[in-house]
Structure 1
Amino acid sequence: MIDRRIKFRHIQCFVEIARERSLKLAADKLHLTQPAISKTLKELEEIIGASLMSRNRAGIQLTRQGKVFLHFAQISLASLQQGLDGVEREGGSARETLKVGALPTVAASFMPPVVREFAAMAPYVMLQIMDGPHGYLIERLKLGELDLVIGRLGRPEAMEGVSFTQLYSEQVDLIVRAGHPLLDQPDIKTIIDWPVIYPPEGAAIRPLVERLMIANGVGQIPNKIETVSGAFGRIYTRNTDAVWIISSGVVQNETADGHLVRLPFETDITKGPVGLMTRPDTQPGAAEQLFRLAVQSVIEDQGLTS
């Protein structure tokens, strides 16, 4: 049973301190004095009977118990806000909608478990998912047609006016069908002898792939097909001798079931951040907060690292 001594102000202050990693900044955000917010935190720790935070030169740090409590405290606050929003909409036909852009690197493998987790947290929020190339989705985000985008960090000029929060890292793989001749005598320089599905100009992974090709002395590729279409890449690679250069997450399911195979080439040089992109001038609503929690839960479950 929840201890009745725990009040809304306790949860709100704790979550804000955890977000800001500073008593002063959290107090300013909540329009409180620093002694008042410090007292509120102390009350919460005494009620729970555990230390939730510690202070050091880096600022406020969560204890192990604090990390556990924060997860559910954030869900509680977001759910309460969602309930208040629902009361305001009661009587009308409007239903809260969260619009998410997903680049190919996350649409195939990462998004499905996130959607399942989010559906359990926010069953009354309608989720709209749009996939497509990096530039297209970022433009939709800037125009306000999307609430957030998940995918690879793009070039600096493309990311202007966009806030990026790294979630995990991912590398590029060279993928072929099962039984491809290159599997018997793997040599990255010989991929020029085969059709190659290559990321087009403007794709987030294009600079990384070009760096990989230069580092391995791969010359001009005469038979190159440039596309970010996952649907095309999966079918074409399975039915031809093409080599598909693509982020590992896009083909995670196909490589797991053996329909497609990763060529044994060292591609750590292509490792790059996958993150959550938003407009810096907007504050996340209750639905977005719950979506972020769903994302973090899946990252922890899958053991993804940055």
Structure 2
Amino acid sequence: MDNKVIRSRIKLRHIQCFSEAVRRGSLKRAADQLNLTQPAMSKTLKELEQILGKVLLIRNRAGVSLTDAGQVFAHFADMSLSALDHGLDGIAQLDRAGKRAEISVGALPSVAAALLPRAVAEFERLSPTSSLRILDGPIAYLVDQLRNGAVSMVIGRLGDPSIMQNLSFTQLYQEEVDFVVRPGHPLLEAPRLEDIVNWPVIYPPAAAAIRPLVERFLIGHGIGVPPKALETVSGAFGRVYTRESDAVWIISRGVVWNELAEGRLMRLPFDTGLTRGPVGLLRREDAEQAAEEGLFVTALTRAIGQMKLAE
């Protein structure tokens, strides 16, 4: 049976009864929790199994246990109910007259330059009563702000394992590093990676998340740190200096996404797939996600789809 047909037949009561039965480990306790009779509970679960064409629960005197199909379905059933709860919380948030919820977000420069403005515009549409504070900087600094509660989430590349303890990471998309120059740069006529050493190179400093990836990439091509390397994480400096000089800027694609799309900077056609890495959300493992934070994640996901950053 087609998934769309199956989905149209599954009702919220089926998901609620199934999830509660799994949570309680007993049809009786689950029925009591939902203010249902046990026969009504059993009937609802039987309907769900008939719709799916799979046995989800094994009933016995000790209670209920999950089949293999039940284990798979239980995970996504809980996610569905959780998503619904976030949606209801979000609606309630919109209805709180005169009260503005506040969230603080940390973002690496590659996110702040291109993705974040679009995500913020979408978030303002989804949650017009919320107040947003944005902090940018290198990953180590933002992780410190996350740990001390100054920000509720950080958007950026997966950090070094040494700074990831007690933090969760949810991938949003993958991003690679680009070598960019001004329009008309001599390297565009005959682009060879080994020739970048003949030009000034804006290079990621040691604290930058992309530094190890860039080092491995260049070493793999027989190139070390360029002799004319100028180390900085300043996007403002990089944009101006690259446009007004013959410098080669080694930078995450998200930082220069706008400039590349508008032709103000040009990407050298090097295969930089080896520098590809995950960009996502960092959170404290012990932190609960507020409703407005869930809306912000939704806004991020929509913005990523619009920009096709994952390609």
TM-score normalised by L of structure 2: 0.76
- Do 2:201 and 2:228's aligned partners in 1 also have CA atoms closer than 8 Å? yes
What residue in structure 2 maps to residue 3 of structure 1?
A: none
The one-letter code sitting in structure 2 at the alignment partner of 1:157 is S
1:235–1:54 CA distance, 2 compared to 1 (3 A): farther
Instruction: Summarize deviations over 1:35-88 as a string: whole Å, max 9, x none.
Output: 998876788999xxx87x9978474359xxx99x95xx877633432455677x
1:35-114 to 2 correspondence within 5 Å? 57=68, 59-60=71-72, 77-82=85-90, 84=92, 95-114=100-119
Q: Which residue of 1 aligns with 2:215?
A: 210
Change in Cα spacing, 1:129 to 1:201, as seen in structure 2 (3 Å) is same
Query: Is 1:176–1:237's contact at 8 Å kept on the other side of the alignment?
Result: yes
Relative to 1, partners in 2 of residues 1:164 and 1:75: Cα closer, same or farther, differing over 3 Å?
closer
- 2:64 is matched with which residue? none
Counterpart AA for 2:282: M
SS in 1 for 2:105: strand
Residue pair 1:198, 1:225 contacting (<8 A) in 2 also = yes
1:267 maps to what in 2?
272
The superposition leaves residues 207-230 of structure 1 with CA deviations (integer Å, 9 ceiling, x where unpaired) of 100011101111342221111111
Change (3 A) 1:94 1:199: same
* Cα 1:174–1:42 shift into 2, 3 Å: farther
2:235 aligned to 201, 219, 230, which one? Answer: 230
Which region of structure 1 is more displaced relative to structure 2, 240-249 or 106-115? 106-115
RMSD of Structure 2 on Structure 1 (CA): 3.8
Supply the AA of the counterpart residue of 1:60.
V
Alignment partners' CA distance in 1, 2:172 and 2:211: 20
Shift in CA distance, 109/220, structure 1 to aligned 2, threshold 3 Å: closer
Pick aligned residue for 1:188 from 190, 193, 199: 193
What are the ranges of 5 or more consecutive residues in structure 1 without an aligned counterpart? 1-5
Larger CA Rg, structure 1 vs 2: 2
Asked whether the equivalents of residues 10 and 44 of structure 1 are also in contact (C-alpha less than 8 Å), the reply is no
Q: Do the aligned partners of residues 38 and 296 (structure 1) sit closer, same or farther apart at CA in structure 2, a change above 3 Å counting?
A: farther
Distance verdict in 2 for CA 1:45–1:286, change over 3 Å: farther
When residues 45 and 10 of structure 1 are mapped into structure 2, their CA distance, relative to the original with a 3 A threshold, is: farther
SS at match of 2:163: coil
Q: What are the Cα deviations for residues 185-205 of structure 1, in whole angstroms up to 9, with x where unaligned?
A: 211111111111111112111
Q: Distance in 1 between matches of 2:45 and 2:24?
A: 11
- Whole-Å Cα distance in 1 between the matches of residues 48 and 252 of structure 2? 45
Distance 1:215 1:239, change over 3 A: same
Distance in 2 (alpha carbons) for counterparts of 1:37 and 1:175: 62
CA distance, structure 2, for counterparts of residue 74 and residue 296 of structure 1:
17
C-alpha contact 1:134 1:204 (8 A) present in aligned 2? yes
Match of 1:24 in 2: 22
Aligned residue runs from structure 1 range 112-123, under 5 A: 112-123=117-128
1:158 aligned partner: 163
Instruction: Assess, with a 3 A threshold, how the Cα gap between structure 1 residues 54 and 44 changes in structure 2: closer, same or farther.
Output: closer
Q: Which amino acid aligns with 1:230?
A: G
In structure 2, how many angstroms separate the alpha carbons of the residues matched to 1:113 and 1:26? 43
Which residue identity does 1:81 align to in structure 2? Answer: D
Whether 2:184 is the aligned partner of 1:172: answer: no
Q: What TM-score, normalized to structure 1?
A: 0.77
Aligned length: 281
Equivalent residue of 1:127, what SS?
Answer: strand
Code of the aligned partner of 1:199:
P
SS at match of 1:60: helix
| AA at the equivalent of 2:182 | R
Separation in 1 of the partners of 2:201 and 2:262?
22
Q: Which secondary structure state, in structure 2, belongs to the residue aligned with residue 98 of structure 1?
A: strand
Equivalent pair of 1:98/1:127 in contact (CA under 8 Å): yes
SS in 2 for 1:107: helix
SS in 2 for 1:182: helix
Return the offset for 1:137.
0.9
User: Is 1:135 matched up with 2:140?
Assistant: yes
